Amino acid sequence: MTKLGVKIMPRKVILDSQGRAVEQTLKLNQMNVQHVRVGKFIELEFQQNKNDALIEARRIAEKVLSNPLIETFEIVEME
């Protein structure tokens, strides 16, 4: 079994409204942070070997998990 993570982040050029709100509030409450961006993390488990799983994960991330118009993704190996 292969376990892979998909890290999805808002595209840098696009407004990250959630990150902006979190950043402002943290700063307002004297929490010492420079910049905040909020994305999501998704775990996928595969029966396939790692190479096949990576290909499949990429396909799933492109087609379903992320919206390429506004998000980028990154596949992360786990365990």
Partner 1 sequence: MNDLQNKLSRYRMKPVEYEKMRKLLGKEPSNIEWALFSALWSEHCSYKSSKIHLKKFSETLNDRVVNSQGENAGVVDLGQGERIAFKMESHNHPSFIEPYQGAATGVGGILRDIFTMGARPIALADYLCFGSPTAPRMQALVDGVVRGIAGYGNSVGVPTVTGQTQFDDSFNQNILVNAMAVGYLAPGDPIALSKAEGVGHWVVVVGAQTGKDGVHGASMASQSFEEGQDDLKPNVQIGDPYFEKLLIESCLEVIQKKLVVAIQDMGAAGLTSSSFEMASKGQIGMDLRLDLVPVRENLSPEELLLSESQERMLLICKPSQWEQLEKHFLNWGLVVAKIGELTAGRKVRLFWEKEILCEIDPDVLVENAPVYDRPYHAGQISSAAKEIKRISGNLKDLYQQKFLGVDHSSRESIYRQYDQRVGALTVQDASVDVALLRLPASGRGLSINVGCRSFLMKQDVQIGAKDAVYYPALQMAIKGCQPIALTDCLNFGNPENPEVMTQFVASCEALRRACLDLDLPIVSGNVSFYNETQSQNARGELVRENIIPTPATGLIGLRENVSDVPADVFQKSGRTVFLVDGREVQGSLKVDLAHFIQLSKLSASSQMVSQGGLFFSLLKMCQGQIGFEVNEKSESLTNKRTITSEILYAAIFEPKDQDMFENYLSQHKMSFSKLGKTNDSDISILDFFITREAFDTDRARGLRRDFEILA
Partner 2 sequence: MKKKMGIVQFPGSNCDRDLFSFVTKKGYFAEFLWHKNSFNESDFEALLLPGGFSYGDYLRAGALAALSPVMTSVKSFAKKGGPVLGICNGFQILTEAGLLPGALIKNQSLRFQDQWVDLEVSSSGTYFGKKLKKTIRLPIAHGQGRFYLPEFDLKLLQDNDQIWLTYLDNPNGSMANIAGVLNREKNVAALMPHPERAIEDWMGSKDGWDFL
- Residues contributing to the site for partner 1 (CB under 8 A): 10, 12-15, 17, 20-21, 24, 28, 67-70
CA distance 12 to 16: 8
d(CA 5, CA 71): 16
Q: Which does 67 bind (CB under 5 to 8 A by kind): partner 2, partner 1, none?
A: partner 1
Check: CB of residue 2 under 8 Å from CB of residue 71.
no
- Give 17 or 49: the residue with its C-beta nearer to partner 1: 17
Looking at the Cβ atoms of 1 and 69, the one nearer to partner 1 is 69
Chain residues binding partner 2 by CB under 8 A are 17-18, 21-22, 25, 28-29, 38
